[in-house]
Each structure stands twice: as structure tokens, then as C-alpha cells.
Chain A
Amino acid sequence: MAYAEACLATLDDAHPQRRRMVHDVLASAGRVRGWNREMLRIYDPRGFALSEPESGRAFQERVAQCLTWEAWEPTTPDALVRTAPMPTLAWLTQQAEAAQPVAARVAMVARTWGVWVRMGREQQCGGELRRAAAALLRSPAIARDGEAFKAVIRLAGEAGAVEAVDTLASFAASDARPEVRAEACAALGRIGGDKARGALLTRSAAETDAGALVKLAAALEIWPNDAAAGDALLKLFKRVPDPAVRRSVLFAAIAGRWPARPALLLMALDDEDGSVVGVALQALAAKPEPSSREAVLAIAPSFKEASAGLIDALGAYADARSSLLLASWLRQETSSPLLVKTIRALGAIRDPLARKTLLRSLDSQPHELVVEHAIQGLEAMQAKEAVPTLIALARDETAPMGVRLQAVQALGSFDLPTIRPVLAALAADVEHAFQRPAVGETPAKRRGPDRIEQARVYLALARFRLGDADAGEEFHRLFNEGSATARFYALHLLAVTHTPHPAIRQGLESSDFATLLAAILAAKANQPWDHLEQLRIIAGQPLLRALGESGVDTANLRHVLEETLAAANAHGHEGGAE
């Protein structure tokens, strides 16, 4: 930010062409205002000072002079939001009271700030922003300008402006413009709370515009356990035949757990529109409803080609009556993602035909990811007839690395005398056994994660699972001495194989993100209540919580932690605690 400050000093009216450059610099440097405040204070003390209301006042006022320029640069809104939040908020509040606000500029700033908030970057001015948004919503002048009004409504939702709920509810109910009603419904869904919910439920019975109903249905998604929300969505589905509305209702049903859900999904399977049926199948894949089982099986043969939602739904029901259809799709389909889904569905079904099909796939399928999933399925079925092929794959120096490692992992689950010597031989000569690149493997892929290190981890764990205590020690040593990637893989393996190991406890103390994430997942898969104390400590760390609320937690560690803690606590409440 010090550079941005220096750049700003060069700004003057005699050189208007500098404005674009200066605003580009401000917009870029200003990204630091999105950092956690402690991090900003330590890494960029000048940036911290410039973002503070008192020490940054002169700087921010200077930046905010552009609010009165005749023309804005493309990056001016970003520059204002990121480097001059206080004067920009004051300006927004003035615009809310003005008889003739600069509506186009209000819209630009509102959109930019909304994105900033949605990315989790607003670390400072949340309260002031909510109040400014609420004030703008009360402005008749802003309300007359459709674009500005929609942008401000959206901002109110992004900012979580609970003080604006009543105003938004009245717009949702009575604004003549359907696009405004739509944005108001969406904003109510983002804000949440009982009042917002009540407003949406009331409106759901009366709204007629399809666009507004799409947003309204999406907004109700945040109440997945609320019976009234489910009833309202079912009524909406019955009342409105528009496919876009029906799809929106069904998207809400993916996470929904309302009493009305089974009836809704059964009705949806009968829809004339294939896209509506597709979303219903997605919802059933997420949580199959017993009442829809026969309907899903009945419509499956009518699909001319494999469909992702249908495959997932058939896998979720795991009904052997769908094995033949899935096996036929496996023969015809060429898309790798659909093939993977089909293999996973067959793996869930586990009947003799599924078993035979997965076994055949080890030799016949050209896509390595498909073969990896077939191996996973055979491991889960404990298909001993697959062991000779798995041994061959583990030893095959020309096979893709992922396939070989998956085979090694699977072999660790079969307690057969033929397996231990194979794994021991591979482990004794890892460098030679795994050094040669597979057929078609690119140099970049070859240089990717450390092949030898990975192979050692997989082999050690497989041998440990078969009772080799020394291998358990070796696994631990590899974990302690390994790269961040190796530790991630090691813990990932403990999770997917449900293998308890002291490395989980160590991983939960790690300051490395990937290690911590994988450790939490490993804990979840291995009696999470054993790690309850550690999980509680982790959940109570303010800076880790802050990371979870910022835009950088792209792997959603926060949600994974919440789920794991819930699983650990649930065991205690069920009386299973030690």
C-alpha cells in the first residue's frame, strides 16, 4: 500500500491520463484490505494504518476525490471500495438522502462492494455497509432507477442487512417490477432469519412471475429442515408448471429434508420436461426416498443415453435391478466422468453382475480414473477373485501411477497369504519398481508429486493394514519426514481406508492447511469421538475461524470441521462416550 500511496501523490488535474494508472494501482494494492486485520497489521503496517478511520483519513479522502470526477476509470469502483471505504460509505449515505442521486455510480459501487463481501473480503466495515444499504433502500429516488435499485437490493442481501428485512419484504410483495421482486426474494434468502422466512412463505403463494419464483424457491433453500418451507415449495411446484421454477424448487430439495420432500420428488419424476426430471434425480441421488425407488427404476430404461443424475440416483438406491442397464452403459459410453459415475454406481450395488463388470473393467477400460474406481469398488466388495489382477497391476511398471497405487491400497484390505510377499518385494525396491514412467505419461506428470515418496506411503500403509507393525512405524516416519503433499496423502489414506493411526492426532495439531484438513477427515472416518478434545480446540481458534470465513478456504475446512465435530458430539450424546 505504500506504493499506492506514493502513486496517489502523483495524481493531479493537469495529468488526467495518470488517473487510470493510479486507480489500477489502488485497486490492485487495495486487495490487502481484504486480508485478516492481524495479518494486514503484521505484513503491511502502512496498509493497515491507511485502512483505519483515523490514521487513514487523509489518504482515503484523497482517493475519494474521484467521487466528483466527471468520468470514472474502469477500476475506480474497486479503488474506492478497497482503499477508501469510509468516505465511500459516507457518500452512499448522502446519495440515499439526495433528491437526485447519481444512480449509475451508486449501482457501480454497490455491485463492486457486493462482490467484495461475497468473496469474504470485507473485514472492517460490515456494520456501516449494512446501514448504508438499508438507507439506500429507503430512497424513493434510488427506487426509481431499476438498475441501481437492484444493485442496492443485492448489496443488502450480500451484506446480511437484517435492518432492511422489512423493507425488502415489502418490495418482494408489492413492487411492480418482477426483477425487483426477484432480487428482494434472493436478498431475503441471503439474510435469513424468521422474518425473512415468513415474508418468503407468504409471497410463495401469491407470486406469479417465473423469474421471481425461481429466486424465491432458491431463497427457501436455506431452511432445509423447515416443514413450512417444504410445504410451500410443494405447493409452488403443483401450482406453477414453468420448468425453470420447478427446477429451482427441486434444487432446493437436494439439501432439503422436509416431510414434503418424498411427495415432491415423486411428482417431479412424472414431469414432462426432462430437465425437471434430471434435477429430481440429482436430489434423489443426494438422498434417496424409498417412495421414489420404483419410479426411478421404471424410467431408467427410457433414457436413450447415460445421464449423470440418473446414474447417481441408481447408485444411491443400489438396487440390483439396475445392474444390467448400468453395465450396458459402461460398454457404450465414452465420457470419462460418466464412466466413473457408472462404475461407482455398480460398486454401490455389489451384486454378482456388478462384481463381474468391475472385474472386467480392470482390463477393458482405457481411462485410468475409471480403473481406479473399479479397484475401489472391488475392494469395498472384498472381491477376492480380483486379487491376481490387482497384484499384476501393482507390479506393472507401465501402468499409470494412480492405478498402481490404488491396487496397492486395495491389496492392503485382503488378508491373503499371497499378498504380503508381493507388497514386501515392492517396498524393498521402491526406487526401481516405481521410477519408470507409465506409457503415455507426460514429463510434467512424471515430475508432479514425488512418485517414490507416494509409493512408499501407500506400500507402508497397505502392509500395516495387513498386520505388519514395522510398516506402521515406517508409515509414521514417512509422515513425519514427508512433504506437505506426502502428509496429505498419508492422512487421506487413513480416511478412505478407515485406519486409525497416531498420525491423525499429529495432523490435528498441524499448522499446515492441507494436513489439518486431511487429519480432520481422517478423524471423521475413524471414531471422531476419540479426537473430540482436539477438535473442540481447533474449532475454538479465532484465527482459524477467520480463515474459514474469508475467501481463501476453498476446500471448505470449516464445514468439514463442523461435520466432524457434530459426529464426535453425537456419539457422546448417544451414550457411546468412553
Chain B
Amino acid sequence: MQATMTRSRGRLVALAACLLALAATPPARGHESPVDHVDRDMAMWVADGRLFLSYRVQVSERMAMMQLNQADVNSDGKVSDAERRKYFETWQGALAKLLQLQMDGRAIAWTPVGEVAFDARLGQTYLFSAALPANLSEGAPWRLKDLFSRQYPGQYRYRQTPALAAGASPVICELEKNISDVGEEHPEIVVLVFKLPKTPAP
């Protein structure tokens, strides 16, 4: 099998070397980028006095393998249930901090809910919830800054009308038009602006 790789390997090595020996901005020069993109799909709703966020990321095969490699703590080439849970639990906690929820400048913390759900399109769906603060200003804008989208840009979709259980109210969002107004400058960052549904479920 080694032989099939020789010429193509030589050219691939040359490409990798070129990427890093050539100009200042190699990934933007038309070669395939070594930087992974992540597509994301979100929905929010209010139920039982709490705000919920479903955050699904669709990763590349390469990124998924890198994560599993990191999860394989004992380097046996397999990811046990315990290793998988531990890795993705830690990751879910980190993600909760990267999805910055703010109301009137106040930061509201997300709590991870349950375990990540995997799907066959290399999707990982995380669920978070946050307690709604008391004395909410009626109609005050909330913001969700997705700092993970700044780290790994990609396609983005917000589902305005997800399928919900009875009693839950969907949250309608729009993208922040001027991210510099909220102290951000990265052109790919996702910042959502929304107001809570007028009559949130008790």
C-alpha cells in the first residue's frame, strides 16, 4: 500500500509544506484549508419558567476523529462509554461558557441538560437551560453571542418554529446587524438578538 502513496504523498507533502512556507495567509489562497468549519443549528424556547437552547453542531469527519482521539484517554484505539461521557461532558460545560447569554448587559449562565445526542450526519446536539431572572423588563432585548462560532465559523441556521412540547413557547430571533455595537469584530461570529415571548409558560 505504501507505493500508491508515494507520488501522491510527495505532492501532498509539498502541498502541506507550501501551505506553511508560502504567503502570509495560506488557508485563503485556494488550497483546501486545514482549518475545520462547523455548521450550527439552534432553537430556543421558554418552558416552566426557564429558557432552553438546543444547539446542534455538525462537524467534519476530521474534527470528529480528533475529538474521539482526545477522548481516548488510555490510547487503546477505542472510546469507552465512560471516556465518551467524560470528554463530552467537559466539552458541554466549556460550550455553555462560550454561548454567552446577556440581558440588559447582565450575563446569564447556561446549565447543561442531559448528555449530548449524536446523529448520523456527524451532528452533536447539546441542550442547555437558564433560569429567567426575576423582574424582567418587558420587551428588553436579549442577546446570545456564540463565541464558538468565532472559533469555528460555518453555516448557521436558527429554527424559529421548532417542534415543542405542549406549554413551551418558541423564541423568535434575528441576527445582530452590527456586531461592533456589542464589542465584537470577527465577521463570522453569530450574535442573536431576541425578546422573550410575551406570555412565557409558568
Contact = CB atoms under 8 A, between A and B. Distances in A.
Interface stretch (B49-57, B66-74, B101-109, B157-165): B66-74
Contact of B66 (A221, A409, A513, A521): A513
User: Which among B4, B9, B21, B22 has the highest number of chain A CB atoms within 10 Å?
Assistant: B4
A222 B19 CA distance: 25
Contact of A483 (B4, B68, B186): B186
Given A47-B120, A559-B9, A488 B72 contact: no
B70 to A, nearest CB: 4
A546 B118 contact: no
B24 A372 contact: yes
A157 B66 CA distance: 30
Contacts of A488: 27, 34-35
B120 A43 contact: yes
Given A369-B23, A542-B76, A547 B69 contact: yes
Contact of B28 (A46, A448, A518, A541): A448
A554 B151 contact: no
Given A42-B68, A221-B3, A541 B24 contact: no
Contacts of A38: 68, 72, 77-79
Interface string A508-548: 00011110111001000000000000000000111110110
Contacts of B120: 1-2, 32, 43-44, 46-47
Interface string A447-477: 1111011100010000000000000000000
A496 B20 contact: yes
A401 B119 CA distance: 40
Interface in B1-49: 1-4, 6-7, 9-10, 12-13, 15-16, 19-29, 32-36
A511 B21 contact: no
B185 A450 contact: yes
Contacts of A402: 23-25
Contacts of A406: 23-24
Nearest to A371: B23
A514 B36 contact: yes
B20 A452 contact: no
Contacts of B3: 189-192, 219, 221-222
A489 B27 CA distance: 9
Contacts of A445: 28
B172 interface: no
B150 interface: yes
Given A449-B27, A484-B35, A540-B75, A222 B64 contact: no
User: Which among A35, A402, A405, A484 has the highest number of chain B CB atoms within 10 Å?
Assistant: A484
Contacts of B64: 39, 43
A132 B168 CA distance: 58
A447 B13 CA distance: 29
Counting chain A residues whose Cβ lies within 8 A of the other chain, the interface size class is 35 or more
Given A43-B122, A448-B28, A554-B32, A543 B20 contact: no
Nearest to B149: A483
B118 to A, nearest CB: 5
Contacts of A8: none
A339 to B, nearest CB: 13
B174 interface: no
Nearest to A251: B7
A449 B25 contact: yes
Nearest to A286: B10
A512 B66 contact: yes
A553 interface: yes
Nearest to A255: B10
Contact of B68 (A190, A514, A543): A543
Contact of A190 (B4, B20, B26): B4
B193 interface: no
Contacts of A484: 35-36, 151-152
Contact of A254 (B10, B25, B153): B10
Interface in A184-227: 189-192, 218-219, 221-222
A555 interface: yes
Contacts of B152: 483-484
A372 B187 CA distance: 25
A221 B5 CA distance: 10
A453 B187 CA distance: 11
Contacts of A518: 20, 34
Contacts of B62: 513, 547, 552-553
Nearest to A126: B1
Contacts of A454: 25
B63 interface: yes
A402 B78 CA distance: 43
Interface string A61-88: 0000000000000000000000000000
Contacts of A389: none
A560 interface: yes
A166 interface: no
A384 interface: no
B151 A483 contact: yes
Nearest to A542: B77
Interface in A418-467: 431, 445, 447-450, 452-454, 458
Given A453-B185, A556-B15, 14 more contacts: A38-B77, A43-B118, A190-B3, A192-B1, A255-B6, A372-B23, A372-B24, A495-B20, A496-B20, A514-B33, A543-B77, A544-B69, A556-B12, A559-B9
9 contacts: A38-B78, A42-B118, A157-B4, A483-B150, A485-B35, A511-B70, A544-B66, A556-B13, A559-B16
Please give me the 9 A-B residue pairs with the lowest Cβ-Cβ distance, nearest first: A542-B77, A222-B3, A44-B120, A511-B70, A543-B69, A514-B34, A405-B24, A556-B12, A189-B3
Interface of A: 1-2, 32, 35-36, 38-39, 42-44, 46-47, 118, 157-158, 160, 189-192, 218-219, 221-222, 251, 254-255, 369, 372-373, 401-402, 405-406, 409, 431, 445, 447-450, 452-454, 458, 482-485, 488-489, 492, 495-496, 511-514, 516-518, 521, 540-544, 546-547, 550, 552-557, 559-560
Interface of B: 1-4, 6-7, 9-10, 12-13, 15-16, 19-29, 32-36, 60-70, 72, 75-79, 84, 118-120, 122, 150-153, 185-188
